Amino acid sequence: MTTIELSNPACRVVISPERGGRVVSFVSTGSGVEHVGPEHLQIWLKTGTIRDPAAGVLHLFYGDFRTREFEMDQTDSPRSVRLRAESEGVSFQKRVRLDGAKPVVTLELEAVNNSDRPRVVQVECFFHWSFGPTTTRRNVHTLIQRGGASTLYPLPPYGTMDCSSFDIDGGTLALCDTDQDETLRIVPDANWQRFAIYQMSGCWRGPYSPEKSLAPGETFRATLQLVLSPGCEAVGQPAVAAVYDRRSHRDSQRRSQTAATARFGYPTFPIRVIDLNASRTGTPVDSLKWLLEHVIAPAGYTHVQLECSVRLRSHPELAGEASYLPGEIRELTKFARSLGMEIIAIQNFYGHQSAITRAHPDLQEVPGDPGVYCPTNPKTRRLVAEIIREMVEIFEPRQFHIGHDEIQLAGNPQRVGVCPRCRQRRPWEVFAYDVNEIHAVLKAAGVRTWMWSDMLIRPEYLSKWQGNGNGVAGEVYRALDLIPRDIVIADWHYFAVEDYRSSQGFLDRGFEVCPAVWYSKEGIREYAKYAHSIGLKSMMMTTWANADLSSLPVESVLYAGRVFQDVAAGNDPDLDEQVRLAAHDLWGEWTKRVKP
């Protein structure tokens, strides 16, 4: 991979044009501390009109400047480089400039509307900050500094997800590494609006520029500086006493009554599913077993939808280092059963299956884009059937989730039925064809099909939030009338501001519906109430984080487990505190038993 390195006596910064022009390393010469890597600091441009319900900013998926390759436009000097990309009539330029002597990197950003209509744009930073519970740099404190005062943003030691917004108002963000006694400051100019600390399994988003409507030919500019300084004076002494530390001193009697260990009588939802993302490298079998035994089963889940890659005899080309061995999966499914839980096999098909389309580029629906395969290619059909048959042999599941989410994204170009062969049919027929072919293979094996809902939600249910209306382009949602009614629709709505009526819509058409929630406790509570009110019998918690306690949004996992068992628990004002205590205890146990 080609990278560009800029350096001065105080620091070194590395940029990757191939990875969306992101900063992949920022090292202080004096301390040797890597402030950005091993992950990255990305600044991208979003376009569109759909907002993220939690952060209130333009939706993350908008525009494709995130992963696109940037051209190196010009190297101004050994300490400065310009990168440029253009997409759908908007050009985005980043100039990265290093100070001659000081550890200061200046990022000058410029968006130009080259199209003939107004375009809404927003610049967003996305940090895989190398600190917090998922990394070894645990003693890095996040502070918002404004007008001489510092506000500490506390992080629990275990994984969590959260979103908090702060207007910038002349402020800066300081990341103080108290172990290394060095601070990284993020200094925005007046063209930025807010820091929204949107924490998700090690990646944080923000600061954000305001949304700008650019007229044709109009330009938006903003500048952000990354500044290193010795010391951690931003950390005021009282501020370091993080909220989560004091919770460890509660008496053990109260802890024993926490959500993780509580058992209930007749549950509101008899089927309580958790979707876990596991990989052999990130979650070894023993860690996963510990998690199932000490967190998932006690939290009241009955089904585990295990998202992982498995090394298949029939298709070794799809496997990687992270793939589990068939024997490991058999050990896990047996262990889950011994705890009274059932494993739901899951394999994403059509979209989110880049292992297939990278190993077999000839199956890409749009050449060069590994995101989507071509369902009408006969080779796809053979390959998919072989994968399913072998997975069924390994998992011995009663239920198999076939994914089918986000094949195209609301507001982005259509991806269903666009290749010359697929264009012979209507987009919704192409989508239904893929589902029906897979369903037939599973049915022959006596296995029930589950799938995600977002490609099938009708426009009338998208009045409050359009973000999961992924089947609107090409009217793909019409496939709902062409697929078997014994499919379980996992209808995901993650935030309380969303419209849940799509679940009633699926129910009315004869499908079984399993509502799916994410980390938002308000979203969990509200959707569970709705699901109960329309008589649904199952709920699913999704996590979208590595299945270990340092990444998993563990408070939300416990919270959902409790609400799924007893929907009225969502009204209990103590539930938040109970799950926090339980999460803290579990973290203590996990660090003792699993962490080296």
Q: Which residue is it, tokens 């108002």?
A: 169
Distance in angstroms (rounded) separating the CA atoms of residues 132 and 584: 15
The residue count for binding Zn ion (CB under 5 A) is 6
271 binds Zn ion (CB under 5 A): no
Residue nearer to Zn ion on the CB measure, 425 or 509: 425
Buried-state track 65-98, b at ≥16 Cβ within 10 A, e below 16 = bbebebeeeeeeeebebbbbbeeeebbbbbbbbb
State the nearest-atom distance from the C-beta of 23 to Zn ion, in Å: 37
Residue nearer to Zn ion on the CB measure, 240 or 385: 385
State the nearest-atom distance from the C-beta of 274 to Zn ion, in Å: 34
Half-sphere exposure of 148 (CA within 13 A, CB side): 0
**Residue 381: phi, psi to the nearest 5?**
-60, -45
State the nearest-atom distance from the C-beta of 418 to Zn ion, in Å: 7
Largest CA distance in the chain: 70
State the nearest-atom distance from the C-beta of 441 to Zn ion, in Å: 19
Residue nearer to Zn ion on the CB measure, 187 or 374: 374
Distance in angstroms (rounded) separating the CA atoms of residues 151 and 6: 33
Residue nearer to Zn ion on the CB measure, 433 or 494: 433
419 binds Zn ion (CB under 5 A): yes
Distance in angstroms (rounded) separating the CA atoms of residues 66 and 58: 14
Token pair for residue 305? Answer: 């939808």
Token pair for residue 386? Answer: 């072989």
State the nearest-atom distance from the C-beta of 402 to Zn ion, in Å: 18
* DSSP string computed for 521-564: HHHHHHHHHHHHHTT--EEEEEEEEESSTTTS-HHHHHHHHHHH
**Contact string (CB under 5 A) for Zn ion, positions 289-328, x = contact:** ----------------------------------------
User: Reduced to 3 states, what is the DSSP secondary structure of residue 459?
Assistant: helix
Residue nearer to Zn ion on the CB measure, 69 or 362: 362
* Identified binder of Zn ion from the candidate list 186, 318, 422, 513, rule CB under 5 A: 422
State the nearest-atom distance from the C-beta of 438 to Zn ion, in Å: 16
State the nearest-atom distance from the C-beta of 425 to Zn ion, in Å: 9
User: Reduced to 3 states, what is the DSSP secondary structure of residue 473?
Assistant: helix
Distance in angstroms (rounded) separating the CA atoms of residues 340 and 322: 27
Residue nearer to Zn ion on the CB measure, 376 or 578: 376
State the nearest-atom distance from the C-beta of 385 to Zn ion, in Å: 17
Candidate ranges 167-175, 212-220, 366-374, 446-454; the one touching Zn ion (CB under 5 A): 366-374
Residue nearer to Zn ion on the CB measure, 431 or 518: 431
Half-sphere exposure of 479 (CA within 13 A, CB side): 32
> Which H or E run contains 587?
helix 575-593
Residue nearer to Zn ion on the CB measure, 337 or 379: 379
Candidate ranges 39-47, 315-323, 333-341, 361-369; the one touching Zn ion (CB under 5 A): 361-369
CA geometry: angle 165, 169, 174, nearest 5 deg: 70
Candidate ranges 75-83, 118-126, 237-245, 367-375; the one touching Zn ion (CB under 5 A): 367-375
Candidate ranges 110-118, 296-304, 376-384, 552-560; the one touching Zn ion (CB under 5 A): 376-384
Instruction: Work out the end-to-end distance of the chain between its first and last CA atoms, rounded to an integer number of angstroms.
Output: 33
* Identified binder of Zn ion from the candidate list 58, 374, 394, 531, rule CB under 5 A: 374
State the nearest-atom distance from the C-beta of 455 to Zn ion, in Å: 16
Candidate ranges 240-248, 352-360, 416-424, 542-550; the one touching Zn ion (CB under 5 A): 416-424
Binding region for Zn ion (CB under 5 A): 365, 374, 376, 419, 421-422
